[in-house]
Amino acid sequence: MDDYKEKILKVCNESSKNTMMETLQIEYVDVGENYLVGKMPVNSRVHQPDGVLHGGAMVALAESVGSTASFIFLDGENFFVRGIEIAANHVKSVRDGEVFGKATILHKGRTTQLWDIKITDAEDNLISVCKLTTISLPKK
Listed by start position, the domains of the chain span: 3-138
The pLDDT score that the predictor gives to residue 75 is 74
Q: pTM of the full predicted structure? A: 0.94
pLDDT score recorded for residue 1:
60
3-138 CATH choice from 3.10.129.10, 2.10.50.10, 3.60.15.10, 3.40.50.300: 3.10.129.10
Q: Which of 14, 27, 63, 77 is catalytic?
A: 63
pLDDT above 90 coverage of the chain, percent: 82
With contact defined as beta carbons under 8 Å apart, do 50 and 89 qualify? no
Active site residue 63: yes
**What average pLDDT does range 104-125 have in this prediction?**
95
Angle separating helix axes 55-73 and 3-14, nearest 10 degrees: 130
Average of per-residue pLDDT across 99-119: 95
Given a cut of 70, whether residue 11 has pLDDT beyond it is yes
Neighbouring residues of 83: CB distance < 8 A, sequence distance ≥ 6 = 63, 66, 67, 132, 133, 134
Q: How high is the mean pLDDT of the chain?
A: 94
